[in-house]
């Protein structure tokens, strides 16, 4: 049956509404309406409509890990609109994204729209083009229980871990911390790399380079490689000088010349992880930005008035499979634009790696007709940059390999062998259109090598000079966003749809910082990671997490049972959780032993602790010894206390006891404290009662002729108060605006900023309720 012909009818006197197509994103609605016409009503769920509750775990462990789904706050209006759109409809086509999350949205939508006699079909739009949409509507499927079970199992696993370990961290470390089943493993990978960098000891080594000339130009260089046929290592200057002495005066004879032509093959079209890595390298996009822009290209771009069209296939995939028709279309374009010698006789298809799901094609343009140049005027700069990257990678994947002529020369000098190499491009092939960042690196290395002159075996060469050079081995590099995505993929941690979220989450929680484009663990990240790894050796183990991902894939494929997986996992997890509840080190109490002796009492060791102001060092002999300091770590990770600067005298007297006030350094900078401490604990802002930065706004208090000025509290927070203080005590946390309230005529407004409303101005009197966009 071709469902695109179904229209509204009357059955037994009842009006049967036209079928409803439910999609995930409002952006898709116009694109799909364009191709389905007026015979369908297309509506959007705007993402998930149901989820586990925010303020409780929402999992009934005793009842088969049954989830207690609730309507997401704010989504009741969406559900009401869905029900209204579906009134009278007997057929509902559920078309959220073709992945696990989309499947969950489809099931939850079916649950809220279920009605006696109503039929639900699952429709998978792998690309938003006319042919793809009509074909999918012509062959709808049943809802996929296995895929939904896999999504649900992942959600339950994440909730079991997060909602039971996070409260433990609140008790043992600090409030507001959280742990995640996958995110915490990513933090562990970053922390372990940092520890490896800290533990690294550079080793000295030397290279020896000879500058040579043959019988014809150009001159070239050769590097020492072997001694008596064995690879040579030169550990220090003395060893280098010994080599120089042994080759001094020896003839430089060409031992052999090897010439060969190698083929450099194009890479497959993008998977999700490879797209993220390449856009980070080439476009400087974050993983999250890459996925956001790719979503826009998939959902549809207006290429003319009322003419939205999806430009790429679905962007969450780990498959390199492509449709034969798409490959043939690419070959036709290559012959037209580059010539027959750039196009192979047959399309090139790529094998998927073992764990690839192959539910979707690789990421590719939906049609070769939409060249980057043709659609450029309809795209934003970011959209065009990403589309061009995807388009070029796909077209290049169907082009001929590049042919590289390589020359390798071995030169004998006594017992030693030097080598030189050069390479030239005979035929650029796919490189005429596109080179990946890896290929660009290889090409840069090739260009660094000088062209070799014509050399023959037995030829004697002229030596210009020999250069010895000192080097040191380098530590492993920190992870960039691109290399961390690659590491997660290679270790089987997460899946294509989760990489961007993982990277954003670990930064948002404050466990890692992005320093000059590379991830570095924060001190809090180190502390939490050490506690989690010590107390949950299985749950946060890299291999264990990867095996869980494999099990989830097997559930989706129908080869495993979700209940069995959850039971096995929870058995291990519950034991570790019970043990950790009793034995996890309390950073609020005992803290982590640094092994360093307290410099004040000399009896006890210093421990790292966490208090309301963050982490610090304290003597374990407290309360007998009150020593405590902030601290830093050196490049080896060793803890070093930050000694406090000596108190400075001030010209102010304490208003409580009359003793002199001194300037001390606190967490928020300098402040005034009574020199009679601990007998008198009076403190003041460093500005005291002096005016701060002027705001130009008159004090709103009746009878006051003062002006509002910017001040700082004892804890360093900015507020605004009257410069007539203490005669006038008016103060507000919000920035004042010199404008009367148009609603109640209050003398000033204040500027506020919230995540929900952005920046806006509001009346100082809360009972008024006036507010408007700034």
pLDDT tens-digit profile of 306-345? Answer: 678 889 999 988 889 998 999 999 999 999 999 999 999 9
The neighbouring-strand residues paired with 619 are 606
The predicted structure's pLDDT at residue 245: 95
Q: Is 390 in contact with 275 (CB distance < 8 Å)?
A: yes
Strands (E), 72-183: 91-94, 119-122
Taking alpha carbons only, the member of 155, 9, 161, 156 closest to residue 532 is 161
The predicted structure's pLDDT at residue 244: 96
**247-261, 687-701, 752-766: lowest mean pLDDT where?**
687-701
Of residues 187 and 712, more confidence is placed in 187
Helix axes 523-535, 183-199, angle to 10 degrees: 110
Which residues are the active-site residues?
Answer: 314
Edge-to-edge strands of the sheet including 669-674? Answer: 648-653, 660-666, 669-674, 683-685
The predicted structure's pLDDT at residue 179: 92
Alpha helices in 607-746 (DSSP H): none
Q: What is the mean pLDDT of residues 557-582?
A: 94
What whole-number distance in Å separates Cα of residue 561 and Cα of residue 153?
Answer: 10
Q: What is the mean pLDDT of residues 193-201?
A: 95
Alpha helices in 399-460 (DSSP H): 437-448
Q: Using alpha carbons only, give the angle 723, 727, 730 rounded to the nearest 5 degrees.
A: 60
The predicted structure's pLDDT at residue 14: 44
Reported as a single tens digit per residue, the pLDDT across 145-162 is: 999 999 999 999 999 999
DSSP track, 536-554: -TTTT-HHHHHHHHHHHHH
What whole-number distance in Å separates Cα of residue 263 and Cα of residue 241?
Answer: 41
With cut-offs at 50, 70 and 90, classify the pLDDT of residue 668.
low
DSSP track, 352-365: PPTT---SSPPB-B
34 to 129, 272, 419, 678: CA distances (angstroms)? 10, 28, 64, 76
Q: Is 433 in contact with 204 (CB distance < 8 Å)?
A: no
For residue 153, what are the contacts with CB-CB under 8 A and spacing of at least 6?
Answer: 552, 555, 562, 565, 566
Taking alpha carbons only, the member of 260, 263, 282, 279 closest to residue 399 is 263
The predicted structure's pLDDT at residue 691: 52
What whole-number distance in Å separates Cα of residue 136 and Cα of residue 183?
Answer: 36
With cut-offs at 50, 70 and 90, classify the pLDDT of residue 1.
very low
756 to 469, 505, 752, 759: CA distances (angstroms)? 60, 20, 11, 9
The predicted structure's pLDDT at residue 386: 97
**255-264, 466-475, 582-591, 687-696: lowest mean pLDDT where?**
687-696
Q: Which of 138-142, 609-613, 752-756 shows the highest mean pLDDT?
A: 138-142
Long-range (24+ apart) CB contacts under 8 A made by 671-678 are: 671/714, 673/647, 675/647
Element of type H or E holding 273: helix 272-283
688 DSSP assignment = T
Mean pLDDT of the chain: 89
Q: Tokens representing 394?
A: 């796909």
What whole-number distance in Å separates Cα of residue 163 and Cα of residue 253?
Answer: 72
Q: Which residues of 15-34 are buried (b: 16+ CB within 10 A; e: fewer)?
A: ebbbbbbbbbbebbbebbbb
Q: What is the mean pLDDT of residues 646-666?
A: 85
The predicted structure's pLDDT at residue 26: 87
Reported as a single tens digit per residue, the pLDDT across 392-440 is: 999 999 999 999 999 999 999 999 999 999 888 999 999 999 998 888 8
What is the reported pTM? 0.79
The predicted structure's pLDDT at residue 625: 94
Would the pLDDT of 666 be above 80?
A: no
Q: Is 387 in contact with 403 (CB distance < 8 Å)?
A: no
Of residues 11 and 666, more confidence is placed in 666
The predicted structure's pLDDT at residue 10: 42
Reported as a single tens digit per residue, the pLDDT across 486-530 is: 999 999 898 877 888 899 889 888 899 999 989 999 999 999 999
Classify residue 769 as left (phi > 0), alpha (psi -120 to 50) or beta: left
With cut-offs at 50, 70 and 90, classify the pLDDT of residue 2.
very low
With cut-offs at 50, 70 and 90, classify the pLDDT of residue 188.
very high
The predicted structure's pLDDT at residue 67: 95
What whole-number distance in Å separates Cα of residue 21 and Cα of residue 396?
Answer: 37
Q: Using alpha carbons only, give the angle 758, 179, 174 rounded to the nearest 5 degrees.
A: 80
Q: What is the mean pLDDT of residues 153-172?
A: 94
What whole-number distance in Å separates Cα of residue 299 and Cα of residue 308?
Answer: 9
The predicted structure's pLDDT at residue 283: 94
The predicted structure's pLDDT at residue 649: 85
Q: Tokens representing 712?
A: 């700082």
Long-range (24+ apart) CB contacts under 8 A made by 676-680 are: 680/654, 680/656
Residue with tokens 């080097």: 471
Reported as a single tens digit per residue, the pLDDT across 597-640 is: 999 999 999 999 999 888 999 999 999 999 999 999 998 999 99
What whole-number distance in Å separates Cα of residue 637 and Cα of residue 525?
Answer: 13
With cut-offs at 50, 70 and 90, classify the pLDDT of residue 15.
very low
The predicted structure's pLDDT at residue 163: 93
Reported as a single tens digit per residue, the pLDDT across 358-392 is: 567 899 999 999 999 999 999 999 999 999 999 99
The CA-based dihedral angle spanning residues 267, 102, 22, 272, taken in that order and rounded to the nearest 10 degrees? -20
The predicted structure's pLDDT at residue 7: 40
Would the pLDDT of 4 be above 70?
A: no
What whole-number distance in Å separates Cα of residue 465 and Cα of residue 248?
Answer: 11
């Amino acid at each position: 049956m071709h469902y695109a012909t179904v229209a509204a009818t009357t059955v037994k006197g009842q009006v049967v509404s036209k079928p409803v197509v439910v999609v995930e994103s409002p952006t898709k609605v116009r694109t799909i309406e364009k191709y389905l016409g007026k015979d369908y009503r297309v509506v959007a769920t705007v993402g998930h409509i149901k989820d586990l509750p925010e303020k409780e775990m929402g999992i009934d462990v005793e009842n088969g890990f049954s989830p207690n789904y609730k309507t997401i706050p704010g989504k009741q209006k969406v559900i009401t609109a869905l029900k209204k759109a579906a009134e009278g409809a007997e057929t509902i086509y559920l078309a959220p994204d073709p992945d696990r999350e989309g499947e969950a949205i489809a099931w939850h939508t079916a649950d809220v729209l279920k009605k006696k006699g109503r039929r639900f079909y699952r429709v998978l739009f792998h690309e938003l083009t006319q042919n793809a949409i009509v074909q999918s509507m012509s062959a709808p499927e049943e809802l996929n229980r296995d895929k939904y079970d896999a999504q649900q199992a992942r959600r339950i696993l994440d909730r079991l871990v997060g909602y039971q370990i996070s409260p433990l961290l609140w008790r043992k470390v600090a409030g507001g911390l959280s742990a995640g089943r996958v995110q915490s493993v990513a933090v562990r990978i970053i922390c372990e790399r940092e520890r490896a960098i800290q533990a690294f000891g550079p080793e000295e080594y030397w290279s020896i380079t000879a500058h040579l000339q043959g019988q014809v130009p150009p001159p070239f260089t050769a590097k020492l490689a072997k001694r008596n046929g064995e690879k040579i290592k030169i550990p220090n200057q003395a060893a280098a000088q010994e080599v120089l002495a042994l080759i001094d005066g020896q003839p430089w004879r060409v031992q052999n010349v090897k010439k060969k032509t190698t083929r450099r093959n194009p890479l497959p079209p993008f998977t999700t992880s490879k797209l993220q890595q390449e856009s980070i390298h080439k476009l400087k996009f974050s993983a999250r930005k890459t996925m956001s822009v790719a979503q826009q290209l998939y959902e549809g771009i207006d290429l003319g008035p009322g003419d939205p069209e999806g430009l790429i296939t679905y962007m969450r995939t780990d498959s390199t499979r492509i449709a034969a028709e798409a490959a043939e279309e690419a070959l036709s374009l290559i012959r037209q634009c580059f010539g027959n010698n750039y196009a192979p006789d047959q399309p090139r298809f790529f094998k998927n790696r073992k764990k690839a799901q192959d539910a979707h094609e690789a990421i590719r343009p939906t049609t070769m007709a939409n060249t980057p140049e043709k659609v450029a005027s309809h795209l934003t700069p970011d959209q065009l940059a990403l589309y061009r990257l995807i388009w070029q990678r796909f077209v290049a994947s169907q082009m001929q390999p590049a042919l590289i002529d390589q020359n390798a020369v071995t030169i004998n000098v006594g017992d030693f062998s030097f080598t030189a190499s050069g390479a030239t491009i005979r035929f650029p092939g796919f490189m005429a259109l596109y080179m990946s960042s890896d290929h660009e690196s290889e090409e840069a290395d090739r260009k660094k090598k000088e062209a070799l002159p014509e050399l023959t075996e037995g030829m004697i060469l002229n030596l210009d000079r020999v250069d010895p050079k000192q080097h040191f081995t380098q530590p492993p590099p920190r992870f960039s966003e691109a290399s961390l995505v690659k590491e997660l993929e290679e270790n089987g941690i997460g899946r294509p749809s989760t990489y961007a979220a993982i990277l954003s989450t670990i930064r948002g929680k404050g466990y890692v910082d992005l320093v000059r484009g590379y991830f570095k663990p924060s001190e809090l990240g180190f502390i939490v990671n050490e506690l989690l790894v010590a107390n949950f050796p299985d749950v946060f183990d890299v291999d264990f997490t990867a095996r869980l991902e494999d099990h989830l894939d097997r559930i989706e494929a129908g080869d495993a049972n979700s209940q069995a997986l959850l039971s096995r996992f929870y058995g291990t997890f519950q034991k570790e959780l019970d043990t950790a509840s009793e034995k996890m080190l309390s950073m609020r109490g005992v803290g982590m032993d640094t092994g360093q002796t307290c410099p004040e009492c000399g009896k006890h060791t210093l421990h790292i602790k966490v208090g309301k102001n963050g982490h610090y060092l304290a003597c374990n002999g407290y309360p007998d010894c009150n020593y405590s300091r902030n601290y830093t770590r050196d490049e080896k990770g060793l803890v070093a206390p930050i000694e406090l600067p000596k108190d400075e005298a001030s010209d102010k007297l304490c208003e409580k006891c009359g003793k002199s006030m001194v300037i001390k350094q606190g967490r928020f900078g300098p402040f005034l404290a009574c020199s009679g401490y601990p007998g008198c604990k009076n403190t003041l802002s460093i500005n005291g009662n002096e005016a701060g930065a002027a705001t130009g706004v008159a004090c709103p208090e009746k009878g006051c002729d003062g002006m509002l000025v910017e001040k700082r509290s004892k804890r360093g927070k900015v507020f605004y108060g009257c410069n007539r203080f203490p005669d006038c005590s008016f103060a507000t946390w919000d920035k004042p605006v010199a404008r009367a309230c148009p609603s109640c005529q209050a003398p000033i407004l204040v500027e506020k900023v919230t995540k929900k409303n952005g920046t806006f101005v509001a009346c100082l009197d809360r009972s008024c309720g006036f507010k408007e966009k700034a």
